Structure formats: C-alpha cells, structure tokens
Structure 1
Amino acid sequence: MKTEKVAEYIIKWLKEYAENAKVKGFVIGISGGIDSALTSTLCAKTGFPTLCVEMPIHQAPSQVTRAQEHITQLKSNFKNVSDVKVDLTSTFEDFKNVIPNVAPSATVDLSLANTRARLRMTTLYYLAGLHGYLVAGTGNKVEDFGVGFYTKYGDGGVDLSPIADLMKSEVYELAAFLGVPNSIQEAQPTDGLFGDSRTDEDQIGASYDELEWAMNMQELGKSEENFEGRNQEVFKIYSRLNRINQHKMLPIPICEIPKEIK
C-alpha cells in the first residue's frame, strides 16, 4: 500500500464530501481502539471541525486511558479538534430497569451489548444535529464487508465510512504513518460492549490477520475443501459469519408491490 497517497486520498475525499454536503464538520466516537483513532486523525487533517466523543458505559479503565491519550494528542496537533465526554452508564442502567425482566442468557448479553452501541449512535447523531456535522464511521473492510462484526444501527449507523475499504492490517499501517499513539497500536482489538476483557478474537474465534486471509481466499473462489487444519477452521468461521451477517451488508429488503395490484 502506498501509505502516504492513501492517507492523502482519504483526507481529500472527506473534505470534498463535507464541502458538497455543505456541513460544518465531523463527529466521531472515540473508543481507545485503532479504527476510531485513525478515523478521527484523518478527519482532523481535513481542517474541518472534528468533535471527538467519549461515551463510556461501564468501560474498562485501559480503554478510557487510551481514548484520552489519543484525544489529548489530537488536540495538541490540531486546533480544529474538540472533545466531549458523555457518560452513558446511567442511561444504560435506566434502560435495563424498564425493559421486561428475563432470565440471564447469552442472547440477553448480546442484546444488551448491541444496546450499548445503539445508545452511542443516538448520542453521536444528537451531537451531529446540534452542530451540523456528519457522523464518521470507524468500520474497516473486514468488519463491514467480511464478517459483519458491528452492530446494525449502532456503530454501523453512520453518514460516511472513510476506512471501510481498508483491511485491518492497512488500518494499522496507516495509523502508524499518521502517528497514532503506540498504546493504541499495540492494544488488542475489542468492541468493549460486554463490560469485560474479551477481545474481538475471543468473540470471533480468529484473529484479523486470519480473517483477512480467509476474505482474500473467498474472493479467489476458494472453498473449505481447499484447506485443512487451522486454515480450514478459520475459513469456516469466516464463511459462516459472512453468510449469517449478509443482512447487515445488503440494502434493506423492500417488498415491491406489482403494478397490476397497486
């Protein structure tokens, strides 16, 4: 990858999109992870006002620390960057108190994890509407179009996606080039939605390097019969997630009424 040219291209794309949309700037949720750090840096480099938003919900201290380190660095380098912290912990707890009480289960845990992401999306759009900004997405190609590892209408609810054509390895390459803090570059990727220490790899069952490999193999027309051992296992994981999460990647189905009966 021609890193410098890619960075310049994305920054130019962001700037032109904002100018054409006649908006005033960008808003990004900052998690302490590599994707949001890269996205916010790219937005900051456009010169447009860039609002970094921390939205902790029972967040791990390490994630909070990394997010604050990144925001501090951005603000010291770019006068157009501002930040706000919206602690959604009490909002999340209030939500849990008013929904029907059901027995604890993995399904309940996942639904509540997705609720965290959707509360954050609502917050970002409130702030975007307040300031006339666009919500910049932080999803990469593997997450958005490979395994669908994001929350529908949560972190998937955005106005534009500047890094969605970058593989995770390319995200790291670009982040290093742009000087994202080492603490973020070295941290294990996690969505931070469960209030514990589980990583993305723990949830998915494969690393991003492995998923990139499987995505490339699928694009080459390979099937699981072409592999054995760990490679076959990873390919199965990727293929299954890619299949069951198509509802996130494809346009919303519309029931089109035939003209003769409408």
Structure 2
Amino acid sequence: MKTQAIINHIVNWLKDYVKENKQNGFVVGVSGGIDSAVTSTLCAKTGLRVLCLEMPIHQDPNQVSRAKKHIDNLHQQFANVSSLSVDLTETFETFKSAVPQTPDTDQKSLSLANTRARFRMSTLYYFAALHGYLVAGTGNKVEDFGVGFYTKYGDGGVDLSPIADLMKSEVYALGRELNIIEEILNAAPTDGLFGDSRSDEDQLGASYDELEWAMRLEDRNHKDLNPRQQEVLKIYQKLNQANQHKMQPIPVCEIPTDLKS
C-alpha cells in the first residue's frame, strides 16, 4: 500500500471538498481511538481550521487520557488546530431522568449507548454551524460498509468520510505513517459508548482482522474453511444483513402519479 500517497490523496480531497462547498474547515470528535486520531490528523494537514472536540460521557479514564494526549500532539504540530472539551455527562443524566424508567436490559443499555453517540453528533453540528465547518466522519470501511458498527444519526451522522474506503488495518498503517501516539496505536479498539473498557471485539465477537478477511471473502469460494473461519463468516454475514438499514439510502415511499392527479 502506498501509504504516503494515500495520505496526500485524502488531504487534497478534503481541501477540494471544503473549497467546493465554501466552508471554513472541519470539526472532528476525538475519542482516543485510531480512527478519530487519523481523521483529525488528516484534516489538520490540510492547513484549514480544525476544531477537535472531546465529548466525555462517563468515559473510561484511559480513553480520555489518550484523546487529550492526541489533541496535545496536534497542537504541537499544527497552528490551525483548536480544541474544546464538552462534558456531556450531566446532559446524558438529565435525559435518563426525563424518559420513563424501565428495567435494565441489554436492549436498554444499547439504546442508551446509541443516545450518547447522538448527543455527540448534535454537539459536533452545533459547532459546525457556529463556525461554518464540516463534520468529518471517523468510520472505516469495515464499520461503515461491512458490519454497520456505528450509530445511525450518531457517529454515522457526518458531512464527509475521509477514511471510509480504508480497512481498519489500512487505517493503522496511515496512523503509523502519521506518527500517531503509541498509546492509541496499541490500544484495543472501542466505541466508548458504555462507560467501561469493553472493546469492539467484545461486542462484535470477532477482531477487525477477521472481519476484513470475511469482507474480502464474500464473493469467493467458501469451501475448506476451518471452524473459526466458518464462525467469523457467520458473524460477518449476520451483522451485514442486520445492519443494511444503516448502509442503504433511506427508503422513500413513491406515490403513483395517478394517485396525485
């Protein structure tokens, strides 16, 4: 993979898109993970204004620490980067107390996790509107087009997606080329939506390397797979099918012409 050439291509694409749409720069949610670290660095390399937002909601301290270290690193390298920390914990708790109380279940936990992502999306768009910025998405190809591992109108609510055509392993390759801090490069990927240290692999049941393998295998011969490969392929296919509603355009009910006349 021509890593530096890909970096240059993305940076130029970002600059062109901002110019074409007459905007002033980017706002990026920085979580302490590799995807947001690479995305924010690519945006910074455009020379345009970049606002990095850290938006904790009962966040695991390690995630907060990594996010702050990454932002500090960007400040040292790029004069066009600014940052803010907007603690949404109280907002989240107010929401929880405002909705009807229901028993604690896995579905409720997931619903609240997605609510966190949607609060963050609203915050990103508040600042985007305030400054004339575009919200830069941080999803990679496996998440966005493979297993749909994101929140609809949460972290999936963005203006443009700089790294969505890159597999997770390719994002890491860019991260190493961009000198992303070691703490982020070595950390287990996590969406940070549950207030603990559970990893993406804990939730998905497979590693990103395994899911990349399954994603590439889709149109190939599935014979002679070992038991783990068979299991991973089933995980991938199940998630891909279940999350098509995220990955496909919103369906529009088209009214027959004769009913309108």
Which category describes the TM-score, using the shorter chain as reference length?
over 0.9
Q: CA deviation at 1:260?
A: 1.2
Q: CA deviation at 1:226?
A: 5.2
Q: Who is 1:93 aligned against? A: 93
Distance 2:221 2:253 in 1: 34
Segments ≥4 residues shifted beyond 2 Å: 220-223, 225-228
Q: Who is 1:188 aligned against? A: 188
1:1-262 mapped onto 2 (5 Å cutoff): 1-218=1-218, 220-223=219-222, 227-262=225-260
Q: CA deviation at 1:222?
A: 4.1
Q: TM-score, normalised by structure 2?
A: 0.98
Root mean square deviation of aligned Cα: 0.8
Distance 1:131 1:74 in 2: 20
* AA matched with 1:17: Y
Q: How many residues align?
A: 260
Distance 1:112 1:222 in 2: 40
* AA matched with 2:111: S
* AA matched with 1:149: F
Distance 2:254 2:152 in 1: 23
Q: CA deviation at 1:261?
A: 1.1
Q: CA deviation at 1:7?
A: 0.3
Distance 1:215 1:187 in 2: 23
List per-residue Cα deviations over 1:174-211 (Å, max 9, x = no partner): 01001110110000000010111110000000000000
Q: TM-score, normalised by structure 1?
A: 0.98
Q: CA deviation at 1:43?
A: 0.1
Distance 1:178 1:192 in 2: 23
Distance 1:82 1:73 in 2: 12
Q: CA deviation at 1:221?
A: 3.7
Distance 2:35 2:20 in 1: 25
